[in-house]
Structure 1
């Protein structure tokens, strides 16, 4: 119990804390505005609040509120969600799912709702502190089994927080038997180039008390690919990239992150596919033979990338974007004329929403969709 106290400020809420959190939520004026925006009618909002006050466990909250809301999001803004690779997941094992990251909320949420459908336990979720801008947001994430990853810290603080985060994730996997979702990188992929940051793997290894092989086996890493037919926040990502290109000092505001969360939920996303890759354990013995730990970490990052690229579901939109971006007809047999016309219309509509209609914006949009095809072509996807 003394060891757990190290994580008091970053851990999710426990069942015994739920009732008190619900009392705080229903009194929060900003949360009230959120509910009104969602449900429109005051009478219905008050019924939701009354139901929240009767909720006493995390499971009840997820089952009675989160799952129905996510099902509504899936119904209204997608053309269906599919999942594969479940043969790699054992119900009695804990895993650290290391995932590409395209949407702030949906990546982990969709994985959890889909594994819950097939009888697997939901995971704890890593969430950046930069997103926790209001108390109601902190409460909602921590009620959904999210733990906090410190952002915007000094170099000295970052070292301390990385060590603590590493210890917490290993504690969940090794001692609590809980699975974890974590992004392969800090922040979402803006340009479609899903690439594992070695710094994330270094963080995971900071709490390792064994050798490289044994330490990563304790975590039971499994790569996860999530593929959206239509990028949830594609227009916002393009707008951000353009601002960064024209202004080296550009910094996102809290309002930008909040808008991205809302947009990701509401925007049309087409079809979505989640695919678990082969567990990292299969190659750890070979990876551990590298010259030094840094080289092993780089090889591990390379393997995770190759699994994410190999398992990324390439939609017609990806092939279309590749052909337009690279001025080729290489993949013309992978899409129809109708799909090409539909994608061109989508480009125009989405970029017009952010008032970015010049050629530069279009090329950024295309590269966002083309990158997964390019990465698949160039990865070591068939490594044994």
Structure 2
């Protein structure tokens, strides 16, 4: 999620309502139409990132905040290329919410991906929470509409988590490609699938950072209780009441940044970066590879090999690429080998134990 200054094709916007139906699509272009939530907190419409003159995306941002801060993007992998004859349309078609080409109405740049249905009784509403909800309109209020929703943006996020969402095992934040490109980037954030209330950042599916937890094993900083409380959709206990007011305002967000940082920001006249991880190279997961240790005070490189080990790939190591780790210098368990006590070290959680039946154990022992 990035802040997008006004400019390019983002001309004057006519905000009309918070609801989209079959008969009232949102059209891009010179006088782009938008939805604005009932309380005026969020806005949805077409936007063009900085340094682009023709690529247009459908997004949700904070209404009346400048510069524009985008929290969700629909067609992030396939922008609409705007020209004199064609702009984008955000509409309900065949039971799905879609980004279409205004000229042909046949090319779809994005879709909610639901099974096609013929019902014309579908409605899309931008809630004051920032959630975009597609539901069958039977006159329900917002709460019932969410409960009966066919699709909602809170369960299909891009790079930003805001209050009201729930971080469960199915939810994942994916960074932008870079500061001005909302395409799918290299970093993802989600619950650690190994269990517990730990979280993991991955870089191209490889663990990049893991949250720590109190106890003997800790790879990095423990996630602040205020953030885990927000990620649980305010269901966890143990958060000071004095801090809860900070989360009641929707101008609070957790962002998987394109740089690989997980950033927690709050708004008071401007965006403030209150917390982030990883804070340095040594906060990264397995920063120095196998049998390597990391210390930010090490000069000239943060990484060193443990005693008795040397870099696996010397030239890469010298260039600052420590991914190859270190290799043992001698054979395992020689006569004079001893165990060294390494103090002031943080290590990762041990691998979970493998449960074997008696028969399996006998086979592996043999």
TM-score interval, smaller chain: under 0.3
- Which gives a bigger RCO, structure 1 or 2 (Cα 8 Å, sep 6+)? 1
- Please give the TM-score of this superposition, normalised by the length of structure 1: 0.22
Instruction: Say which one has the larger Rg.
Output: 2
Whose strand proportion is higher, 1 or 2?
Answer: 2
TM-score w.r.t. length of structure 2: 0.23
| Higher fraction of helix | 1
